[in-house]
C-alpha cells in the first residue's frame, strides 16, 4: 500500500515508511495523546479535510497521509520543514519559518530523517550489491551477401548483393 500511494503521489516510499515507523510503529490502531489516529497518525481534522472516513483503515490512512505529505513538500520545498509541518502543523512552521522550537517536533524530524537516511543507504547498498544483468552480446555486423556465378569460360566470380 505504501509503495502504491507513494508512487501515485511521487513521494519516496522510503520516506513514507520512515514516517510510519516513527508515528505508529506500523500499528494501524495507534492513537496519540493528541488524538491522531492510525498508521500515519492523522488528526481528525486532517482526516476529514482529506476525505478519510476511517483513520484506522490502513489504505485510507496511508493514501491520505501520503497525499498530505506531498502537499507539504510542495509548499515547503524542504523535507525537514514538510516533516515539521506534518508533526506540529503548518501554522507552527509558518510562525517560526523553520522547524519549530518544540522538543517533540525537533525530535520527530531528527528521528524520521535518520531512519530515512539509513533506509536510503541500505537501498543503495542493496542495489550496488545486486548482480548486474549480463550485457547483451554484440550483434554480428551486417555484411552484404555474396553471390557467386560462373561465366561462359568457367571462371568463378563473386559479387555482393544488397
Of 110 and 154, the structure prediction assigns the larger pLDDT to 110
Instruction: Please name the helix (run of DSSP H) or strand (run of DSSP E) that holds residue 160, with its range, or none.
Output: strand 156-161
pLDDT above 90 (res 4): yes
Residues 7-25, buried b or exposed e (16+ Cβ, 10 A)?
Answer: eebebbbbbbbbbbbbbbe
Look up the pTM and report it: 0.78
Q: What is the pLDDT of residues 7-16, one digit of tens each?
A: 999 999 999 9
Query: Which range among 49-58, 91-100, 111-120, 133-142 shows the weakest confidence by mean pLDDT?
Result: 133-142
Looking at every residue in the chain, the average pLDDT score rounds to 92
Number of C-beta neighbours around residue 99 at 10 A:
21
For residue 68, pLDDT beyond 70: yes
- Report the catalytic residues: 23
Ramachandran assignment for 77, one of left (phi > 0), alpha (psi -120 to 50 degrees), beta (any other): left
CATH number belonging to the domain at 2-127, selected among 1.10.530.10, 1.10.3470.10, 3.40.50.300, 1.10.10.10: 1.10.530.10
Amino acid at each position: 500500500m505504501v509503495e502504491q500511494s507513494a508512487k501515485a503521489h511521487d513521494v519516496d516510499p522510503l520516506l513514507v515508511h520512515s514516517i510510519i515507523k516513527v508515528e505508529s510503529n506500523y500499528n494501524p490502531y495507534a492513537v496519540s495523546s493528541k488524538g491522531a489516529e492510525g498508521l500515519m497518525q492523522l488528526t481528525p481534522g486532517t482526516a476529514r479535510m482529506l476525505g478519510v472516513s476511517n483513520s484506522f483503515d490502513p489504505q485510507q490512512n496511508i493514501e491520505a497521509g501520503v497525499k498530505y505529505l506531498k502537499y507539504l513538500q510542495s509548499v515547503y520545498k524542504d523535507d525537514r520543514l514538510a516533516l515539521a509541518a506534518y508533526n506540529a502543523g503548518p501554522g507552527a512552521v509558518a510562525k517560526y519559518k523553520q522547524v519549530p522550537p518544540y522538543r517533540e517536533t525537533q525530535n520527530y524530524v531528527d528521528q524520521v530523517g535518520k531512519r530515512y537516511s539509513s533506509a536510503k543507504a541500505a537501498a543503495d547498498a542493496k542495489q550496488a550489491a545486486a548482480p548486474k544483468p549480463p550485457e547483451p552480446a554484440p550483434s554480428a555486423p551486417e555484411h552484404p551477401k555474396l553471390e557467386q556465378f560462373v561465366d561462359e569460360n568457367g571462371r568463378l566470380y563473386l559479387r555482393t548483393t544488397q
